[in-house]
Structures are given as structure tokens and as C-alpha cells.
Structure 1
Amino acid sequence: AFVQGGDNVLIGGFIVGGNSLLNNLVVIRALGLPFPGTASPIHCRTQSLNCTTRVAPLFAANDDWQDHQKAQIMASGLAPANAKESVIFTRLPAGQYTAIVGSADDTTGIGLLEVYSPL
């Protein structure tokens, strides 16, 4: 989706199922550099990623994936190629969540939001 600075963001919702309180491993990625297999010159150079719920307005944020949980993200096999991309690696209870992808440096371009539940 097209991402800009300010309020022009990519918003995605996702649902985590399961019975356990904190047993659902989730990896949320915000990518903006040219994606493998594409030739798009338009990309968002630096992403910001925020995750919210109705109960917790902001429970996680990231704008450079290597700054937080680098070892776990790399071990998951979901580490982005670029350090400026964003990843949140967390355990979540069942519920509804929102991920918001914006431009951390006010550049304009294409951003991609991905949510994984690795086993």
C-alpha cells in the first residue's frame, strides 16, 4: 500500500486465536524496500510499526528491527534484509489487533505489512 508521513499510513487488522493467555507467538513485519522479485523503484525507505488493541492503545512499536530481539527474529527465519525495516516478535493472547505502518523518515512509497504465526 502507499505510505507517507503523518496520518497517511497503512493499517491492517489481525486476529489471534487460541485458548492460552500468552502462548501465541506472532511475528509482525513492516517492509518497504524493493521486494524480492519486483523491480519497483518506489519504496518507503524507513518504516515505523505500531501495534494496538482496544485494551492497550499501544503495546509494541519498532522502527529498526535489529534494535530489539535481533536473535529471536533471526532464528525465526523472518528477518528482513534491511536493518531499517520493522519487526515485532511477541507472544499475544487471543484477541483482535491493529498494526499501523508509517514512514519513520517522512519518505513516500510502497509499504508491506505481514503477520506470521511461526511454529
Structure 2
Amino acid sequence: NGDGSSKVLVRALGPELTSFGVSDALLDPTLNLFDGNGNLVGSNDNWKDSQQTAIQATGLAPGDDREPAILTTLIQGNWTAILRGKNNTTGVGLIELYRIQ
């Protein structure tokens, strides 16, 4: 937007993917958000652990409590979201980013 920043919801899906026929979905994903300098600026394990009310208000809350989400304002620049399995578990996951108006 005009000031070079955007409010976004970053969420990582794993368990919810099984309802779409994904057989090897990541069962307990974690999400980390890094700025362009590699600094960790946000992390989440289970979306209801923090920001629950604000995330629900977006209408985009993950469908499974084990899925992480981060609601934040990003300034213009490079950002990296990393999805991992808790305790080094493996499987299929999906990162989604929504711009919140």
C-alpha cells in the first residue's frame, strides 16, 4: 500500500490437507517468518496459542488447531516463511499468504 507495508496472514497447512486427499500430510507443522536479513521475526506452532481472536476475525483461521498462523504487518522487502514438521517429522505441507485489507 502507500506506506510500503501490508497486513498479512501467513498460515501453514498440514493436517487439513488430508481432507483434500493428501495421504502424507505433515501432522504437526511449525511456521517461522524471517526478514530479508535472516532475522526471525515471527514463529508459531499451533495457531490458537497466540493471536487466536485476531486470526479468527480475518475469517481465514486454519481448519485444524495444530496448524500454525502468523498475523503481522510486513514492510516492503524480502521475507521468507519456513514450514517444518515438529520434532523433525516429515510430510506434505502448504504455506499460504493472504493480504488483509
The answer for unaligned runs of 5 or more in structure 1 is 1-17
**Distance of aligned partners of 1:56 and 1:25 in 2 relative to their CA distance in 1, 3 Å threshold:** same
Contact 1:43 1:109 in 2 (8 A): yes
**TM-score after normalising by structure 1:** 0.76
Tell whether the 8 Å contact from 2:16 to 2:64 is kept in structure 1 after alignment.
no
Aligned residue number for residue 9 of structure 2: 27
2:91 paired residue among 102, 109, 116: 109
Sequence identity, in percent?
34
CA–CA distance in structure 2, aligned partners of residues 91 and 30 of structure 1: 17
CA deviation after TM superposition for structure 1 residue 32, in Å? 0.4
Q: Please state which structure has a larger fraction of its residues in helix.
A: 2
| Alpha-carbon distance in structure 2 between the residues aligned to 1:35 and 1:42 | 9
Deviation at 1:37, TM superposition (A): 5.6
Instruction: Report the TM-score when normalising by structure 2.
Output: 0.89
String of CA shifts for 1:13-54, please: whole Å, max 9, x gaps. Answer: xxxxx3426x51110011001427622221111111001113
CA distance in 2, matches of 1:31, 1:84: 9
Check 1:37–1:47 CA distance in 2 against 1; reply closer, same or farther (3 A cut).
closer
Distance 2:6 2:71 in 1: 11
Q: 1:76 aligns with which of 58, 63, 68?
A: 58
Structure 2: tracts of 5 or more residues without a match? none
Within 1, Cα distance between the matches of 2:99 and 2:48?
20
Q: Does 1:64 align with 2:56?
A: no
1:87-106 matches, within 5 Å, as: 87-106=69-88
